[in-house]
Amino acid sequence: DAGITQSPRYKITETGRQVTLMCHQTWSHSYMFWYRQDLGHGLRLIYYSAAADITDKGEVPDGYVVSRSKTENFPLTLESATRSQTSVYFCASVTGGNSPLHFGNGTRLTVT
């Protein structure tokens, strides 16, 4: 089925470890986004990408790295995880114009 898939759904990691969250979409949407959701903060933009090989920082990019070598994939890497990065991470994509964002089901990350 067409859609946007995030993996894993749940991840527990230790402080200092590197972890990568995966995002794959089947629509060939140009734009992709990574948000984190924390209680009381709603969703905050980490990074976004307008096309393959084009990425830009959002509101809270520190401690995160992204890449987009292929249009359909937009992985998010925590280079050295910290407890403050415990959160639910959502990937989203949109084709353009005034189309709405389509969200994945999220990855719940716990950093111990």
Partner 1 sequence: AQSVTQLGSHVSVSEGALVLLRCNYSSSVPPYLFWYVQYPNQGLQLLLKYTTGATLVKGINGFEAEFKKSETSFHLTKPSAHMSDAAEYFCAVSDSYKRQLTFGSGTQLTVLP
Tokens of 16: 């200092």
Residue 98 Cβ vs partner 1, minimum distance, rounded to whole Å:
4
* H helix or E strand, kind and range, residue 94: strand 87-94
Considering only residues 17, 41, 70, 83, which one is a binding residue for partner 1 as defined by CB under 8 A? Answer: 41
Considering only residues 22, 43, 52, 65, which one is a binding residue for partner 1 as defined by CB under 8 A? Answer: 43
Considering only residues 13, 67, 105, 110, which one is a binding residue for partner 1 as defined by CB under 8 A? Answer: 105
> Strands, DSSP E only, in 8-83?
10-13, 19-25, 31-38, 42-51, 54-57, 64-66, 76-78
Residue 95 Cβ vs partner 1, minimum distance, rounded to whole Å:
9
- Please identify, among the stretches 19-27, 70-78, 79-87, 97-105, the one whose residues bind partner 1 according to the rule CB under 8 A: 97-105
- Interatomic CA distance for residues 83 and 14, integer angstroms: 8
3-state secondary structure of 22: strand
Chain residues binding partner 1 by CB under 8 A are: 31, 33, 35, 40-45, 48, 50, 58, 90, 92, 94, 96, 98, 100-101, 103-106
